[in-house]
């Protein structure tokens, strides 16, 4: 029951219990209003974040959704709008970020905020695991006879929707996302010659993503880690066998250059002495 005129409230939330992220389908929020001359409606998250806005359009004399964010959408009132009614807002496949506070606002009236909880949030954090399971070659990269650098990432995560292969602690070189439209995973970004396999759909809780690069170079001998939206493996250092040899060879070459320079310098000094002696002999001859 409404307490009085010009009131809006969150009438219902589905599912009525907490969101089960492992078996989720829809999050639905029903907003009931009792307002004279309804002109605007907002679905608000986290107390101030507007995720859906509905305005009355004077030109078409109808209501229209003018803003929708974060995958939410809402029904619109018919015109002329009844003083009382219900606007239903929903999102398909809600994620953990959707377990938060919501309120309905119309004209200048706002409902009390209502908390939507998620049952799986703690379990996901407690049980989520991602790690570098294997690196090939198992020994250091041989740059002279290299073929592939392969990094295998093992995961045990409920509701996997994102994956990243990260180099040098923060450089994302491969990104994989779950595509709602096709209900499949896809590589959306690949850099530095790397590519990765994608999880099967429907995705298993456990699996392995294999990332590889053909003909790795010395810049690929560095740290790698596997990451999801909230979980990251420990970084693992991939070494290169030829790096020390390259440095040693460079040092040898530099020493040879210095030795040659010293020899050239000595030769120049001797030449100058001989020229000076010849000059003295010429001067003595004229005297």
**How confident is the model over 213-228, as pLDDT tens digits?**
998 988 999 999 999 8
The answer to whether 44 and 104 are in contact (CB under 8 A) is yes
The answer to whether 34 and 5 are in contact (CB under 8 A) is yes
Structural tokens at position 230: 């909230």
Q: What is the mean pLDDT of residues 109-127?
A: 67
pLDDT category at 141 given cuts 50, 70, 90 is confident
Reduce the DSSP state of residue 125 to 3 states and report it.
Answer: helix
Question: What is the rounded CA–CA span in Å between residue 99 and residue 21?
Answer: 10
- Smallest CA-to-CA distance from 198 within 158, 237, 169, 155 is with 155
Q: What are the beta bridge partners of residue 195?
A: 212
What percent of the chain stands above pLDDT 90? Answer: 35
Question: What is the rounded CA–CA span in Å between residue 36 and residue 56?
Answer: 13
Lowest mean pLDDT among 29-33, 68-72, 180-184: 180-184
Q: Give the residue with greater pLDDT, 31 vs 247.
A: 31
Phi, psi of 214 (to 5 degrees): -85, 135
Under 8 Å CB-to-CB from 233, ≥6 apart: which residues? 130, 131, 132, 153, 225, 226, 227
In the predicted structure, residue 113 carries a pLDDT above the cut 60: yes
pTM for the model: 0.43
């Amino acid at each position: 029951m409404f307490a009085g005129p010009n009131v809006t409230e969150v009438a219902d939330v589905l599912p009525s219990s907490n969101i089960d992220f492992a078996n989720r389908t829809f999050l639905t929020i029903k907003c009931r209003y009792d307002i004279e001359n309804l002109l605007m409606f907002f679905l608000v998250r986290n107390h101030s974040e507007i995720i859906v806005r509905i305005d009355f359009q004077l030109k078409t004399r109808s209501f229209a959704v003018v803003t929708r964010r974060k995958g939410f959408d809402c029904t619109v009132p018919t015109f002329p709008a009844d003083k009382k009614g219900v606007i239903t807002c929903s999102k398909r496949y809600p994620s953990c970020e959707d377990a938060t506070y919501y309120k309905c606002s119309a004209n200048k009236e706002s409902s009390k905020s209502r908390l939507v909880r998620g049952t799986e949030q703690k379990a996901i954090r407690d049980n989520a695991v991602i790690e570098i399971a294997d690196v090939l070659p198992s020994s250091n990269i041989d740059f002279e006879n290299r073929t592939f650098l392969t990094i295998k990432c093992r995961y045990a995560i409920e509701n996997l929707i994102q994956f990243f292969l990260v180099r040098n602690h923060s450089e994302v070189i491969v990104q994989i996302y779950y595509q709602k439209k096709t209900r499949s995973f896809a590589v959306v970004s690949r850099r530095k010659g790397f590519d990765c396999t994608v999880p099967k759909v429907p995705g298993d809780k456990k699996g392995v993503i294999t990332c590889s690069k053909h003909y790795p170079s010395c810049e690929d001998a560095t740290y790698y880690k596997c990451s999801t939206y909230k979980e990251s493996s420990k970084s693992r250092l991939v070494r290169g066998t030829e790096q020390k040899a390259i440095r040693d060879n460079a040092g040898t070459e530099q020493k040879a250059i210095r030795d040659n320079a010293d020899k050239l310098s000595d030769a120049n000094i001797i030449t100058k002495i001989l020229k000076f002696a010849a000059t003295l002999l010429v001067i003595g001859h004229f005297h």
